[in-house]
Amino acid sequence: MHRLLVAMTVFTYLFILLPILVVVVSAFSPTEFFVFPPPGLSLRWFATFFGTESMRNAFTLSIQLAIVSSILATLVGTMGGLYIARRRGLAASILQGIFLAPLVFPAIVLGLSLLLFFKLLGGMPAFTGLVIAHCVLGMPFVVRSVAASVLAVDPVLEEAAQSLRAGPLRGFALVTLPLIWPGILAGGIFAFILSFGELNAALFLTGPGISTLPIEIFDYLQFSVGQLVIAAASALQIGLILIVVFGLERLVGLARVVRS
Amino acid sequence: MINQSNRPDVRFENVRKTYGKATAVRDLSLSIPQGSFFSLLGPSGCGKTTTLRLIAGFEVPDSGDVFIRDQRVTDVAPYKRDFAMVFQNFALFPHLNVAENVAFGLRMSGVPKAERAAAVAAALDLVKLGNFADRYPKQLSGGQQQRVAIARAIVMKPAVLLLDEPLGALDKNLRESMQVELRSLQRKLGITTVFVTHDQEEALTMSDQIAVMRDGVVEQLGAPREIYERPATEFVATFLGASNLIDVVAVAAEADQTLVEAPCGRFTIPGRHGPGTRLRVSIRPERVALAKAEANAAIPATVRDVVYRGMTAHITLDANGLPLMAFVQNSAEAAIDWQPGEAASIAFPTGSLGVLAQGQA
Amino acid sequence: MTKLVMTRRLASFALLAPPLFVSIIFFIVPLGLLFWVSIHGSSSSELYSDQITAENYIAIISDSFYLTIVQRTLGAGATILALCLVFGYATAYVLAPLSPRARLWLLLLLSLPLLVSNVVRAYGWLTLLGRQGLVNVVLQKAGAIDAPLVMLNTFQAVAFALMTIMLPYMVISICNALATIDSYYREAAQSLRANPFQTFVHVTWPLSSPGVASGMLLVFLMSLSAYVAIVLLGGPRMKLLVSLIFDSAATFRWPLAAAMSFVLLAIALVVCALILMVLRPQRVQGRG
């Protein structure tokens, strides 16, 4: 029985990791089409990627979008997290539900509703629209992470600060903020990563000339055949995520990744 | 209903259990008589819980054998052993109500439904929870949860009932009333019970026999009174309540008594010891006889400190450099009317002195 | 009201206002608008016509094409849930007893792919399952098959790939639940004559139900809007509900797309309620 379970576990890991591994390996392929085993290694597809203007633009746009939307999501989400963390009762539960709903809400419906909303307002620049959508989607990660951090802080600490003649603002800045800082950072980085890979809402909100990297990859896969430039684009995405995660590990510890 | 025959319900033969380098239980041989209430007492890490878990089968000994009712169970899986257990945190299944919790064991052993219901009702009545059958554990108070845990165990009519510090989670008053209740229930059912506790008062109150454990070894085994009054080792003397320890040298032996000399003076201890033998004796603070100073007192002392404790007063004394503790009953105004600096005369009744085994730290 | 209380109320309002503003203006109001659009007729020039009507919903319910798609969406969801549950529970059951450190690293290995865009993960399966993909190559070299298998553009490929994309959520959720079950409960079950199988059925499984439930909810909700994997692995003819929403929007039939969105949300709501009713995780939540 246990052997069967272990075998299934191995398959679980294969199912989850294999597609990513194969993408990374094929990105370094020297050949026109991916052959297994690869005859050598080359960076030609990365060169092709950066030589293609639409790809390059999408990559830049995705990074800009991720930075702007995650900063906004962090600011607003931290406020939300601070507000709901220690409050109990019906109103707080409703607020918590509203703040966290985008976590599980079908993003495609959110994208459509925002598109209609923007159209009704008379149009919205594509980048602004994407920032708004990704801010809404990223905010709950920050709210959740900050609220959890606040709950882990002993409320007596802030009272102690106030008893030592620190005003509420100074007490917060000097005592609470340093303690919940890792939570804010972790939430913000999640919002960044989410924005960088998000597709479903972006499908509705990108426009001609304004495309994110995932959308560009998707379009390319749909309308062009088997070129490994996509593998290179994907590998770049994975690489950037690894760098961000590594930074996260250095700053706040990786255990948060699993808990979130 | 107590049926204390000589046949033991639980027996350990040279059982050893180690975790890595740490020895939890070393070469333990033990017999727990049928129908008795047997306590394993000791500080945390002394091996008492491991001993209990060895009976249950949650731990497997490295060497030696465990028997339940003459059946060797060393290699038997826990669910095939004839025991029931009350856990420290009760371990009531949160998704089952009280009746379902109590019925669980009967259900697992395939007892028919009707029979099950009757047994559950009887067990719940026994712990006075007949009206709580439909409640869920989280709707119960700590004391009620405790009773459910007991009902869930005794309904199995096990050969031996294991209690792992079951009163530890309760507050002081509740704990004391549960002690009495648990003990009377055990007497009524005549069920062999092994009780793990670090609370010496609890062990003294409830047990027929106590095994005081330290570092995986039973330091002393005996009836509560025996253990308290005649501690065999310094550890037992100090772990069970307070003790005064006095180093003495034997002077002369006569009959079954020995006159000894200590820095504070001379007195007599029980037992024969050759002159010149160095001994360490113990006496409980409440057995130290304290009187107002007399001119030719055998052991003169000075009162250093008096702590009024309501029922008693704790008096710290200095007998020629030897610090001593005496507990005085608050039976009359005069009995506890002591002032620091006052001179006193003390005596050690021979029957209250115990000689400790040598070589103990 | 004292000045101190006033200040405090003002401060907490200042804290609440921005996130509430974002949630209301960019989440709740657009959603309300979407519903408003869904109960109007379509218009060739505007987003929707003036006329309030239920025709979009009626069209979905009465059209056998749409019903087939709804059925297929539910079928895909059920398949994904079942596979995720089996593989996810097995994996979580193996990981849970490990040391916290080992468990953390193994879960981390599973959760890193969650950070990678779904389009990349779907692309990985595209490479693996294609005519000359790794799976076919390996199988052919091993002599298990003569001609390459056609795996892409099938329902099975879509369901399987989606399953693997959602699987980490399931493993993490169940593993966290299993790891928090006090070993006392299992020991108590054994002390009450429950054999290992009975212990699992009567104790471990019900106590892990909160993790199972939250994993299933997450997996189902995520799989409902997984448009990209469906398009890439299912091909142009494989349509699920989410594809219809996108197709309708692409052809500017906004009211229909809006109505389908609400059908999708309704399905989500019903299935989630069903999962909660069957698993009853609230039995073990909020204990102690």
pLDDT single digits (tens) A24-72? 999 998 888 777 777 888 999 999 999 989 999 999 999 999 999 999 9
Is-contact A33 C132, C-beta < 8 A? yes
Is-contact B207 B240, C-beta < 8 A? no
Chain A: residue nearest C223 by CA? Answer: A106
Range of the domain at C172: 63-278
User: Which of chain C's residues have a Cβ under 8 Å away from the Cβ of A110?
Assistant: 27, 30-31
Task: Report how far residue A124's alpha carbon sits from residue A204's, in angstroms, rounded to the nearest whole number.
Answer: 12
User: Which of chain C's residues have a Cβ under 8 Å away from the Cβ of B100?
Assistant: none
Residue B280 backbone dihedrals phi, psi, to 5 degrees: -120, 125
Reported confidence tier of residue C1, pLDDT bands at 50, 70, 90: low
Which of B83, B106, B108 should one mutate to test binding to chain C, selecting the residue with the greatest count of C CBs within 10 A? Answer: B108
Task: Report how far residue C77's alpha carbon sits from residue C271's, in angstroms, rounded to the nearest whole number.
Answer: 10
Query: Can the peptide bond before residue B158 be classed as cis, meaning omega within 30 degrees of 0?
Result: no
pTM score, whole prediction = 0.88
The pLDDT, as a whole number, for residue A113 is: 96
Task: Report how far residue A120's alpha carbon sits from residue B212's, in angstroms, rounded to the nearest whole number.
Answer: 82
Kindly tell me if the per-residue pLDDT of A137 is higher than 60: yes
Structure tokens at B329: 């009953």
Chain A: residue nearest C170 by CA? Answer: A12
3-state secondary structure A182-202: HHHHHHHHHHHHHHHHCCCCH
Cα–Cα distances in Å, from B46 out to B161, B241, C90, C245? 21, 18, 38, 68
Is-contact C240 C202, C-beta < 8 A? no
Residue C85 lies in a domain: yes
The pLDDT, as a whole number, for residue A167 is: 78
Reported confidence tier of residue A256, pLDDT bands at 50, 70, 90: low
Task: Report how far residue B341's alpha carbon sits from residue B339's, in angstroms, rounded to the nearest whole number.
Answer: 6
The pLDDT, as a whole number, for residue A130 is: 97
Pairing status of strand B37-41 against strand B192-197: parallel
pLDDT digits (tens, 9 = 90+) for C146-200: 888 899 999 999 999 999 999 999 999 999 999 999 999 999 999 999 999 999 9
Chain C: residue nearest A142 by CA? Answer: C19
Residue C55 lies in a domain: no
Which of A109, A172, A206 should one mutate to test binding to chain C, selecting the residue with the greatest count of C CBs within 10 A? Answer: A109
The pLDDT, as a whole number, for residue C157 is: 93
Chain B neighbours, 3+ Cβ pairs < 8 A: C
Order the strands of the B71-72 sheet from edge to edge.
B22-33, B8-19, B63-68, B71-72
Reported ipTM: the value is 0.92
How close is the nearest chain B Cα to the Cα of C201, in Å?
11
Q: Where in chain A is the domain with CATH 1.10.3720.10?
A: 52-259
Kindly tell me if the per-residue pLDDT of A194 is higher than 50: yes
Residues 138-177 on C with a CB inside 8 Å of A are: 138, 161, 163-164, 167-168, 171-172, 176
Reported confidence tier of residue C32, pLDDT bands at 50, 70, 90: very high
Residue C242 lies in a domain: yes
**Which residues partner with B245 through β-bridges?**
B282
What is the number of domains present in chain C? 1
Average pLDDT, chain C: 92
Task: Report how far residue B83's alpha carbon sits from residue B100's, in angstroms, rounded to the nearest whole number.
Answer: 19
Is-contact A62 A236, C-beta < 8 A? no
The pLDDT, as a whole number, for residue C286 is: 55
Which of B87, B89, B95 should one mutate to test binding to chain C, selecting the residue with the greatest count of C CBs within 10 A? Answer: B95
Residues 37-56 on A with a CB inside 8 Å of C are: none
How close is the nearest chain C Cα to the Cα of A119, in Å?
8
Task: Tell which residue, C123, C128, C117, has the closest CA to residue C151.
Answer: C128
Reported confidence tier of residue C287, pLDDT bands at 50, 70, 90: very low
Instruction: Provide long-range contacts, Cβ within 8 A and 24+ apart, for B326-333.
Output: B326/B285, B326/B286, B326/B288, B326/B290, B327/B242, B327/B284, B327/B285, B327/B286, B327/B288, B328/B290, B329/B286
Using a threshold of 3 CB pairs under 8 A, tell whether chains B and C touch. Answer: yes
Cα–Cα distances in Å, from B281 out to A103, B248, B253, B351? 72, 7, 16, 12
CATH code (residue C81): 1.10.3720.10
Task: Report how far residue B252's alpha carbon sits from residue C192's, in angstroms, rounded to the nearest whole number.
Answer: 61
Name the CATH superfamily, with its identifier, for domain A52-259.
MetI-like (1.10.3720.10)
Name the DSSP letter for residue B356: P
Task: Report how far residue B28's alpha carbon sits from residue B220's, in angstroms, rounded to the nearest whole number.
Answer: 12
Task: Report how far residue B134's alpha carbon sits from residue B107's, in angstroms, rounded to the nearest whole number.
Answer: 17
Chain C neighbours, 3+ Cβ pairs < 8 A: A, B
The pLDDT, as a whole number, for residue A160 is: 85
Is-contact A49 A68, C-beta < 8 A? no
Residue C198 lies in a domain: yes
Is-contact B44 B216, C-beta < 8 A? no
Reported confidence tier of residue A255, pLDDT bands at 50, 70, 90: low
Per-residue pLDDT of chain B (361 residues; tens, 9 = 90+): 344 456 789 999 999 999 888 889 999 999 999 999 999 999 998 999 999 999 999 999 999 999 999 899 999 999 999 999 999 999 999 999 999 999 999 999 999 999 999 999 999 999 999 999 999 999 999 899 999 999 999 999 999 999 999 888 788 888 888 898 899 999 999 999 999 999 998 999 999 999 999 999 999 999 999 999 889 999 999 898 889 999 999 999 888 899 999 988 899 999 889 898 999 999 999 999 888 887 777 788 999 999 988 888 999 999 988 999 999 988 877 677 888 999 999 999 988 898 998 654 4
Task: Report how far residue A221's alpha carbon sits from residue C157's, in angstroms, rounded to the nearest whole number.
Answer: 17
Residue C231 lies in a domain: yes
